Amino acid sequence: MNDEHNNHGGKRAGSGRKTGTGTYREETSVMRVPNSQKPVISDFLEAYAKKQRLAELKDNLDSIEEFTQLSAELESMSLPLFESKVPAGLPSPADDHVDARMDPNTYLINKADKTFFVTIQGESMIEVGLMPGDKAIIEKDKVPAVGDIVLAMIDGEFTVKTLAKQKDGMPKLLPANTSGRYAPILITQQMQFKIWGVVTGSFRKF
Residues with catalytic function: 124, 161
Q: How far apart are CA 169 and CA 165, in angstroms?
A: 6
Alpha helices in 93-203 (DSSP H): 104-108
Q: Do β-strands 135-139 and 115-120 pair in parallel, antiparallel, or remain unpaired?
A: antiparallel
3-class DSSP state for residue 112? helix
β-sheet bridge partners, residue 164: 172
Closest CA to 157 of 67, 68, 44, 62: 62
Burial class (CB in 10 A: 0-12, 13-18, 19+), 112: middle
β-sheet bridge partners, residue 136: 118, 202
Q: How far apart are CA 201 and CA 164, in angstroms?
A: 19
Strand order of the sheet with strand 135-139? 64-69, 115-120, 135-139, 193-203, 149-154, 157-165, 171-174, 185-186
Rg, C-alpha atoms of the chain: 25
